[in-house]
């Protein structure tokens, strides 16, 4: 039986940087010698194909429709990075017609069949490809395929910024979704991202000097904070940020991501 782990990254709203985080974490695990698969289940606003600059023959949309197997969808993106392990990726179609199809495909029979294909693909990844870590990117907010993707994961990571909007939205999602998933064995955690160091309060949270502040935030949200990552302008506002944690290993962002990869792997 596979000991592989499935992590899903989610957020209340867009712009939290979850795609950058999950891509860098996938690469770091692959660099350490693990077999990793990264799947873009942000079906409503896909971005991983642009991030990795790939135009595959088959997308995850084809898997959902039963027109492709997971082996058709996977692209080996690790070989060009020179990783010690293996990094496979599956992309969502950015084509307008494919995004629109996901939006309007609410017929229950179709959705159930699509979910069965996803779960079968997950089993195949662990059994055939011997994946150590399966990382799932999701669409922000409460959407049908976001919830389906979360339900397929063992560990759920809510990526948020320190703002009233994010805090209140995250609290609502925990109440509406995450507490229900937890009853079936999933565990969920908070990752603070793009923390503004210009704010004295935020800086204390990042440096973990203010243990009381972290505890207060955890109590308010109802979940454990596993990482607090500063906002780095040279990373977040780069025209094409691409796996900075791998390409700039001495950067503070990279060091924070390495710490995050270690912190969550055994949760």
- DSSP assignment letter at 265: T
- Structure tokens given for 247: 């390409």
Phi, psi dihedrals of residue 252, rounded to the nearest 5°: -60, -35
Instruction: Give 35-56 pLDDT, tens digit per residue.
Output: 999 999 999 999 999 999 999 9
* 3-class secondary-structure state, position 247: helix
Which of 53-67, 96-110, 195-209, 243-257 has the highest mean predicted lDDT (pLDDT)? 53-67
**Proportion of the chain above pLDDT 90, given as a percent:** 69
Residues 31 and 84 sit within 8 Å (Cβ to Cβ): yes
Inform me whether the pLDDT recorded for 265 exceeds 60: yes
pLDDT of the residue at 201:
55
Average pLDDT for 4-28: 95
pLDDT of the residue at 202:
53
How many residues make up the chain in this entry?
A: 267
- Residue 70's pLDDT band, with cuts at 50, 70 and 90, is very high
Domain encompassing residue 189: 5-264
CA 208 – CA 256 distance, rounded (Å) = 13
CA 134 – CA 89 distance, rounded (Å) = 10
CA 266 – CA 38 distance, rounded (Å) = 18
Question: Between residues 80 and 132, which one has the greater pLDDT?
Answer: 132
- Residue 22's pLDDT band, with cuts at 50, 70 and 90, is very high
Residue 144 sits in a domain whose CATH number is 3.40.50.300
Q: Of 19, 120, 128, which Cα lies nearest the Cα of 63?
A: 120
pLDDT of the residue at 50:
92
Inform me whether the pLDDT recorded for 200 exceeds 60: no
pLDDT of the residue at 209:
47
Residues 264 and 31 sit within 8 Å (Cβ to Cβ): no
- Structure tokens given for 86: 């293996």
Inform me whether the pLDDT recorded for 21 exceeds 70: yes
Q: Between helices 200-207 and 211-221, what is the axis angle to 10°?
A: 90
- Give residues with Cβ within 8 angstroms of 72, minimum separation 6: 57, 58, 62, 63
pLDDT of the residue at 1:
43
Q: How many domains does the chain have?
A: 1
- Structure tokens given for 125: 């990844």
Residues 91 and 40 sit within 8 Å (Cβ to Cβ): yes
Average pLDDT for 197-220: 66
pLDDT of the residue at 73:
98
């Amino acid at each position: 039986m596979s000991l592989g782990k499935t992590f899903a990254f989610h957020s209340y709203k867009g712009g939290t940087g979850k795609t950058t985080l999950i891509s860098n974490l996938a690469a770091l695990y692959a660099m350490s010698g693990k077999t990793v698969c990264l799947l873009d289940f942000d079906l409503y606003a896909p971005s991983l194909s642009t991030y990795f600059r790939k135009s595959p023959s088959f997308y995850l949309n084809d898997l959902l429709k039963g027109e492709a197997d997971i082996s058709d969808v996977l692209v080996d993106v690790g070989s060009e990075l020179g990783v010690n392990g293996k990094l496979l990726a599956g992309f969502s179609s950015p084509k307008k017609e494919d995004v629109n199809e996901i939006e309007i495909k609410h017929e229950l029979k179709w959705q159930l069949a699509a979910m069965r294909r996803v779960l079968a693909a997950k089993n195949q990844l662990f059994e055939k490809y011997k994946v150590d870590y399966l990382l799932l990117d999701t669409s922000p907010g409460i959407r049908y395929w976001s919830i389906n993707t979360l339900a397929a994961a063992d560990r759920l990571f809510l990526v948020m910024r320190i703002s009233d909007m994010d805090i209140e939205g995250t609290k609502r999602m925990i109440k509406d979704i995450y507490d229900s998933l937890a009853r079936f064995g999933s565990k969920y955690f908070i990752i603070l991202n793009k923390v503004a160091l210009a704010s004295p309060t935020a800086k204390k949270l990042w440096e973990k000097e203010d243990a009381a502040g972290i505890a207060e935030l955890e109590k308010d949200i109802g979940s454990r904070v596993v990482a607090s990552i500063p906002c780095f302008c040279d990373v977040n506002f780069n025209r094409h940020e691409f796996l900075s944690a791998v390409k700039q290993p001495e950067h503070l962002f990279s060091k924070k991501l390495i710490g995050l990869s270690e912190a969550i792997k055994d949760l």
